[in-house]
Amino acid sequence: MNTYMNYITEELKALTSIPSPSGFTKEVTVHVHKVLTDMGYEPYFSNKGNVHVTLGGEENPLLLAAHLDTLGAMVRSIKDNGRLRPTTLGGHQWTTCDGENCTVHTRDGKVYTGVVLNTEPSAHVSDEKAERKEANMEILLDENVNTKEDTKALGIQVGDIISMDPRTTVTKSGYIKSRFLDDKLSAAILLGLAKMVKEENIQLKRKVSLLFTVYEEVGHGGCFIPEDTKEMLSVDMGCVGADLECTERQVSICAKDSGGPYNYDVTSALIKTAKENSLDFAIDVYPHYCSDVEATLKSGYDVSHGLIGPGVYASHNYERSHADGVRNTLALLKAYIS
């Protein structure tokens, strides 16, 4: 298991190092496609850019889905002073990004660094603090620009993508800290599972496929899946916080979120599997959560569904998990498919 844990950690670092706000995911999907191809699988891209791969097995197809897109922003307008006004991509929280380093990606391939700040960031200057909401946030480029024309001359335009620095780190005590653990941590876990199935020649009790989606943060990542799918598990983040039982060291099994209850039999089977394998897990209800599989159901697919993931604290913020949560999630997935 430690070999795969090390692999998942390194793959997480690789994934978080590739900027991929919703709508800007080609580089990260090419990376995942290559990783799976190098393992000996035959992944393919969907028209919308999702990556799909079958691990093996026959009958009663199970689909495991994680998303590669992240929160981020887009240039809404260029101000007269050369600074950028952003618009959010996904459920972005500007209160968590004030003072964060960022990168602007132009459509002709240029890259510029900058910093996210509110319009009154200096304690020694401002009479009143600006509320940290989108209308009061701006991107200061690390370039000598003072006018709208200066910024446009760099090739920056409305619609350019803005990505936040992930600041990924893993402590000796096993804590994993980064932006975008939602959901690149679970994407790395699925890659670790694929590696385990191949190297250990695991006999799958059914047809098992993986789906890496690219529009989850804006609500339609999982709206198209293979027609033969019978069951789908969204492998996303487990929430940690007030009124929840899950910790960063557990695998979370979600019974209900904002879209309603998950399939009773699937959830019960996941709980039973976790108990039989003596895994550290929690069952929780997430009142402000929506997953890829709900997009699947709303698109009319007749599938049973579930949701699991490693516990992640401070979702849509600078997030934190733990190697034990990863280990329990990987072990639950392995037991469930073999």
Q: Which residues are catalytically annotated? A: 216
Strands 101-105 and 161-164 turn out to be antiparallel
What distances in angstroms separate CA 322 from CA 24, 63, 203, one per listed residue? 28, 25, 29
What is the Cα 189 distance to its own chain's centre?
Answer: 12
Q: Which tokens hold the place of 260?
A: 């309603």
What distances in angstroms separate CA 182 from CA 41, 148, 316, 327, one per listed residue? 25, 35, 8, 17
Strands 251-257 and 304-313 turn out to be antiparallel
Q: Identify which of 153, 139, 38, 29 has the alpha carbon closest to the alpha carbon of residue 79.
A: 139
Burial environment of residue 312 by CB neighbours within 10 A (0 to 12, 13 to 18, 19 or more): buried
The H-or-E segment that residue 153 falls in is helix 148-153
